[in-house]
Amino acid sequence: MLTNERLDYLFALRTLRTLRENPPLPQDIIKPPMIRGPEHQPYSSRTKLGLETPLSVRIWREKKLIVAPPLWYDQLTWACIIYGVIECLGGLINFVFPLDFLFPLGEVFAFITGPLVLVAGLWGQLSSERLVCDLKARTYGRREGQGLFKRVTHGRFDDIDAVVLTCGTVLTAGGMGVQYRLVMHWKQGREPLLIIEQEAHPMAPGQPWNFAAGRLHQRGTMVSQWLGIKFYDNSHFQSGDPLRPF
């Protein structure tokens, strides 16, 4: 009586004999599915100069999908710009027409703090990347580059390849943790990758890599549905950093 092990051995032997007598053609070989992600898809990499402001995705009146710094960040930078302009103009006016009750610390203080706050606001506003997608026209405009030296590009949703959820390690307050990133890829590497959202979580020993990827998985699915592009979830294994911070 043949046992299961003996049957498996005979089946494997017969398979090897068949392949030896009739080797498969190259086009008949089934290739394993390609894992989509920064390490497996060619793209135009670049080194980021300095720390970049984390971006987030928001929908504006169901007409535009905006990838930009959080709303409070924009409000803070614009407040610095407006305050800096007021301080500079106020210091100049106070120098010509003394108004000590409006500027009790004097025009010197206004001349010092005004330009500093103004430059800080401009630096924060111009150094952040942005992506604005018109959902009706299916076009996008992107501000991209290093530091203050940005370039503005335009294109259509057909130029965007996919959104990929990746996973990597990061050092958190609770020790070694995991960092999830939603990365937007362009077809044929037409534009550098864009990290549209990211978040970090402390990770206990024995936990799977994707134990806390649920929120970004939902965000990635939402972006793919709004833009009509593909979404890949690669959070079940560790990937490298798509953009180096320095």
pLDDT of residue 189: 84
pLDDT of residue 89: 79
Task: Kindly list the domain boundaries of the chain, sorted by start residue.
Answer: 76-125, 159-233
3-state class (DSSP) for residue 91: helix
Cβ atoms < 10 Å from Cβ of 133: 22
Segment among 18-27, 113-122, 172-181, 223-232 with least mean pLDDT: 18-27
pLDDT of residue 244: 56
Strand-pair category, 175-186 with 64-68: unpaired
- Which of these, 191, 193, 144, 155, lies nearest to 37 by C-alpha position? 193
Q: In whole angstroms, give the CA distance from residue 60 to residue 38.
A: 29
pLDDT of residue 52: 65
Exposed e or buried b per residue across 100-123, where buried means at least 16 C-beta atoms within 10 angstroms of its C-beta = eeebeeebeebbebbeebbebbee
Confidence label for 19 from pLDDT (cuts 50, 70 and 90): low
Cα 131 to chain centroid, rounded: 11
- Which of these, 160, 130, 165, lies nearest to 242 by C-alpha position? 165
pLDDT tens column, 54-103: 899 999 888 999 999 988 998 999 999 998 888 877 766 666 666 555 55
Q: 34: which DSSP letter?
A: P
